Amino acid sequence: MTNSSGENSTCSLSQLAPVEAVLFDVDGTLCDSDPLHHYAFREMLQEIGFNGGVPIDEEFFIKNIAGRHNEDIASILFPDDHERGIKFCDDKEAVFRRLAKEQLKPVNGLYKLTKWIEDRGLKRAAVTNAPKPNAELMISTLGLSDFFHTVVVGDECEHAKPFPDPYLKALEILKVSKDHTFVFEDSVSGIKAGVAAGMPVVGLTTGNPAALLMEAKPAFLIKDYEDPKLWAALEELDRIGGVTKGAA
């Protein structure tokens, strides 16, 4: 059953029963990092006179940068000089890490959700297109280094998101089935990857417009981890015996 936006109106995850694992993207999903990425790109691109010196706006950032792998971003920003694009992106990541150490904040309700997952002994992985140093810094800054059983980065797979490879690799490492696993994502690229890997994806509207995310076919969208829609779905899983407490 879907509503007018195409979203699953019951927000059900019950077909996954019993749930074995939960997979998370990192940027924009665990933490509200997109504003820091946007700031770093905007300032650095303006410094080199990109777009005639006019700062990139949020629309440009969402369309061309958010959720993408740096290889793709380099090709978009520097189509005639990929090597320069990669160097630029590497330099930008160093700026981002400095900002993140000081300013990174968890998405609202994150620790309530991680406690729910831990209490039920579910397996969990972080699956990201971010460079490994970024992913490790963000996860550590959020105090989640011990929470995740593994971290999969796009660079370590044959194809990064929007291809399903990173999510398929996470399933393989955790030794769980796609039929008993769901995903949290905040970008079109990420949602497409999770869906292509055969899993329902809960989309977060932390940085991208709902209408844009719906095009990637998430199971449903939430504002953050306090969203009643999410907790209704999780309570339904508990009610039907869809999770086994203390399984791990």
Annotated active-site positions, please? Answer: 25, 27
Backbone angles phi, psi at 104, to 5 degrees: -65, 130
Q: What are phi and psi of 175, to 5 degrees?
A: 60, 50
Tokens of 44: 């650095």
Cα of first residue to Cα of last residue in the chain, in angstroms, is 34
DSSP 2: B
What is the SS3 assignment for 182-229? EEEECCHHHHHHHHHCCCCEEEECCCCCHHHHHCCCCCEEECCCCCHH
Asked if 125 and 24 touch (Cβ cutoff 8 Å), the reply is yes
